Chains A and B, each alone.
Chain A
């Protein structure tokens, strides 16, 4: 019973943070399960992935109600993220992961500071006139970030949201809403693969999913009302945390 409540709170916190920022919530769930519950990372990642699919349905609903989802952009992002993940998973056998992690942690630190310093914040979605250009650029951006995400083994949201915000100058509310709608499609394919490989711990899934369904709704609702400054600070903290987490393993191995 106690375990059930702990996993429920894990899903709930991941849902709230993920829904608020437009992320899947893996960044909360995986450390929670591995560090606090002592679960092996090979078990934690598939469980988190299956919960992420549900979180997308839960959180994006709130963003859609407030018209903060660009469905067309979301579809394109989903296609190229999935293609990027597939390419990245093949490249991971060829490219040494440690150097990429180190390089990318520097890029993430730079992104974190650019993100917090950026003052201009559009309030409206781009007009149809300029759509062709930004759809074209987002294809490259998402494909590349999909590859990098697969190479270094982290979810795409923590990379894609700041990149789309900084490179394409899209409003933060639209980027978060659109990504919360999109990541579920990419995660569905991965979850199916984990399920076929019998890698999902079925006992852990229900309480975490119940938590994330409720949390995603709360987080999504909070996210629609969030002030850009608060979101930027939350992202800044998460980006710094991810950068250090990525650099820690390779650096301790080299020293």
Chain B
């Protein structure tokens, strides 16, 4: 029995949207640095937080696609990876 394959087109669409969003955000932050530093730093900081959040979103979307294909093993691996990233962040935050 062959396993159902992932819908790569959806993943490409997601990545293209993220690409446009991030380039706009960071271009705005870069231009803002020419005008004023304080707001630009907030832009930059938020941009990094968003990048991390969007990376976790990529994983969540992948896991969801595996769930729809009833491929439980890979769905769990996706969620495990999200968990590892979040636990790493939390441990660092708590031991600060």
Please report A residues at the B interface, Cβ cutoff 8 Å.
1, 4, 8, 50, 53-54, 56-58, 60-61, 64-65, 67, 69, 71-72, 75-76, 78-79, 82-83, 86, 128, 184-185, 188-189, 191-193, 195-197, 200, 202-203, 205-207, 209-210, 213-214, 217
Contacts and interface: CB of A to CB of B under 8 A. Distances in A.
A60 B23 contact: no
A61 to B, nearest CB: 4
A82 B37 CA distance: 34
25 contacts: A4-B30, A4-B33, A53-B51, A54-B22, A58-B19, A64-B15, A65-B12, A67-B8, A69-B8, A71-B8, A72-B74, A75-B81, A79-B84, A82-B84, A184-B58, A185-B85, A189-B85, A192-B52, A192-B85, A196-B92, A202-B41, A203-B33, A205-B29, A206-B27, A210-B23
A185 B48 contact: no
Nearest to A61: B15
Given A50-B48, A57-B58, A75-B81, A206 B29 contact: yes
Contacts of A209: 22, 26, 47
B43 A206 contact: yes
Interface of B, secondary structure class, is helix
Interface residues of B, number: 47
Given A79-B84, A206-B40, A210-B30, A196 B23 contact: no
Contact of B48 (A184, A205, A210): A205
B85 A184 contact: no
Contact of A202 (B11, B44, B52, B55): B44
A87 to B, nearest CB: 12
A75 B62 contact: yes
Contacts of A195: 45, 48-49, 52
B59 to A, nearest CB: 7
A207 to B, nearest CB: 5
Interface of B: 2-3, 6, 8, 11-12, 15-16, 18-19, 22-23, 26-27, 29-30, 33-34, 37, 40-41, 43-45, 47-49, 51-52, 54-56, 58-59, 62, 74, 77-78, 80-81, 84-85, 88-89, 92-93, 96
A69 B62 CA distance: 13
B26 A205 contact: yes
